[in-house]
């Protein structure tokens, strides 16, 4: 069934949604994006997504003529028009339409598009079984903190992982795991969760932000430091987080079983707590 999507101030049927071939998003990947999870008709961590979006926009010196409240209304309207109860809303903003020229155009109006995508975030089969991860080299740029729409390295990485039978690729730089191609990476040893600290080397995951708060409230220790692939292979548990996976157990890395090869207790607890909080919050 055709969705209703949002393009520059209008809600239109997806087959009628059009953006110019001169859009700088298309020509230069000159834009930033957000993906917000929807659970039971509720937007999860929306304020954090908007905070990160504002930061990404500032980092690329892109002013937009819409307020956060208007963005919130667009999200609500998309959910309503598409009867979306569970899934995601993707939204991106580019520097707009201009003749192809590397420097920023003076008078271009930014392009804003958004659409819904249905997904069973709470009960997908792989949340029970856990997923496999393959390590791949991190070939990305030096500003991974910006949620840029330039995702070719991640698409290449996810494809390479997929061809090895894995669900996600963990990108590795100098022997250390940076993050998943579209998720944050974690390992668990005993009752300690380890994840890489924030820097320009990774995206500041919104799900990560909430997870760290929840872990603290649950008296689970979090260590924010880089970890090696070797450490990950020797971990008791591993998992990923993102708006599209929530907290998802990882049971195999590069064909090595992690722990028992089944989702572990810390991961299960964090997934349950995350979903419960999202539903109640
Ligand atoms: N990706 N790291 C990278 C490289 C990501 O692309 C994402 C999210 C995350 C997790 O961020 P969050 O918890 O805010 O979703 C970490 C989204 C889901 C995507 O590109 O579809």
DSSP state string for 176-234: EEEEESSSEEEEEETTEEEEPPPSTTS---HHHHHHHHHHHHTT-EEEES--BHHHHHT
Domain ranges of the chain: 4-118, 126-280
Nearest CA to ligand 1 atom 6: 182
Pocket test for ligand 1, best of 183, 196, 209, 245 (most atoms within 8 A of CB): 183
CA 174 to chain centre: 23
Nearest to 247 by CA among 37, 18, 30, 29: 37
Ligand 1 atom nearest to 33, measured from its CA:
20
Question: Residue with the nearest Cα to atom 4 of ligand 1?
Answer: 182
* Gyration radius from the chain CA atoms: 19
Q: Report how far residue 180's alpha carbon sits from residue 168's, in angstroms, rounded to the nearest whole number.
A: 7
Q: What is the pLDDT of residue 61?
A: 97
- For atom 20 of ligand 1, which residue has the closest CA? 182
What distance in angstroms lies between residue 30's CA and the mean position of ligand 1's atoms? 18
198 Cα to the center of ligand 1, angstroms: 14
CA-nearest residue, atom 17 of ligand 1:
182
Per DSSP, which regions of 63-130 are E strands?
Answer: 87-94, 111-118
Q: Got the DSSP string for 112-142?
A: EEEEEEE---SS-HHHHH-EEEEEEE----S
Ligand 1: nearest atom to the Cα of 244: 18
Q: Determine the pLDDT at residue 133.
A: 98
Active-site residue 42, yes or no?
A: no
The active-site residue out of 18, 42, 147, 269 is 147
Ligand 1, CB cutoff 6 Å, lining residues: 35, 179, 182-184, 203, 205-208, 241-244
Query: Could you tell me the end-to-end alpha-carbon distance of the chain, in angstroms, rounded to an integer?
Result: 31
Question: Who contacts 132 (Cβ-Cβ below 8 Å, separation ≥6)?
Answer: 165, 166, 167, 168, 250, 251, 252, 253, 255
**Tokens standing for 65?**
């003529």
Tell how far the Cα of 7 is from the centroid of ligand 1, in angstroms: 23
Q: Domain 4-118 is of which CATH architecture?
A: 2-Layer Sandwich (3.30)
Distance CA 233, CA 231 (A): 5
pLDDT of residue 23: 98
Q: Determine the residue of 147, 242, 278 to mutate for testing ligand 1's pocket, defined as the one with the most ligand atoms within 8 A of the Cβ atom.
A: 242
pLDDT of the chain, 281 residues: tens digit per residue: 799 999 999 999 999 999 999 999 999 999 999 999 999 999 999 999 999 999 999 999 999 989 999 999 999 999 999 999 999 999 999 999 999 999 999 988 999 999 999 999 999 999 999 999 999 999 999 999 999 999 999 999 999 999 999 999 999 999 999 999 999 999 999 999 999 999 999 999 999 999 999 999 998 999 999 999 999 999 999 999 999 999 999 999 999 999 999 999 999 999 999 999 999 97
Q: Do the first three CATH levels of 4-118 and 126-280 match, i.e. the same topology? A: no
CB 218 within 8 A of CB 251: no
Residue 110: which residues within 8 A CB-CB, separation 6 or more?
62, 63, 64, 65, 93, 94, 95, 96
Ligand 1: which atom is nearest the Cα of residue 243?
A: 15
Query: 126-280, what's its fold?
Result: D-amino Acid Aminotransferase; Chain A, domain 2 (3.20.10)
């Amino acid at each position: 069934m055709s969705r209703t999507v949002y393009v520059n101030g209008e809600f239109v049927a997806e087959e009628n949604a059009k953006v110019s071939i001169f859009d700088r998003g298309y020509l230069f990947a000159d834009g930033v994006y957000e993906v917000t999870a929807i659970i039971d008709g509720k937007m999860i961590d929306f304020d954090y997504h908007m905070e990160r979006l504002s930061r990404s926009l500032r980092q690329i010196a892109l002013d937009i003529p819409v307020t956060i409240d208007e963005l919130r209304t667009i999200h609500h309207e998309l959910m309503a028009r598409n009867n979306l109860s569970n899934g995601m809303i993707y939204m991106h903003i580019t520097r707009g339409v201009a003749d192809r020229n590397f420097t920023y155009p003076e008078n271009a109006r930014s392009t804003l598009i958004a659409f819904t995508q249905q997904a069973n975030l709470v009960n997908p089969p792989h949340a029970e079984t856990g997923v496999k991860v393959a390590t791949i080299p991190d070939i990305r740029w030096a500003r991974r903190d910006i949620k840029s729409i330039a995702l070719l390295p991640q698409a290449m990485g996810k494809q390479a992982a997929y061809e090895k039978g894995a669900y996600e690729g963990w990108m590795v730089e100098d022997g250390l795991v940076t993050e998943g191609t579209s998720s944050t990476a974690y390992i668990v040893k005993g009752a300690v969760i380890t994840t890489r600290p924030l820097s320009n080397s990774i995206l500041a995951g919104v799900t990560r932000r909430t997870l760290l708060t929840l872990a603290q409230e649950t008296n689970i220790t979090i260590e924010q430091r880089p970890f090696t692939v070797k450490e990950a292979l020797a971990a008791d548990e591993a998992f990923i987080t993102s708006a599209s996976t929530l907290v998802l157990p990882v049971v195999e890395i590069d064909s090595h079983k992690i722990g028992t090869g089944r989702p572990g207790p810390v991961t299960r607890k964090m997934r349950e707590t995350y979903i419960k909080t999202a539903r109640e919050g």
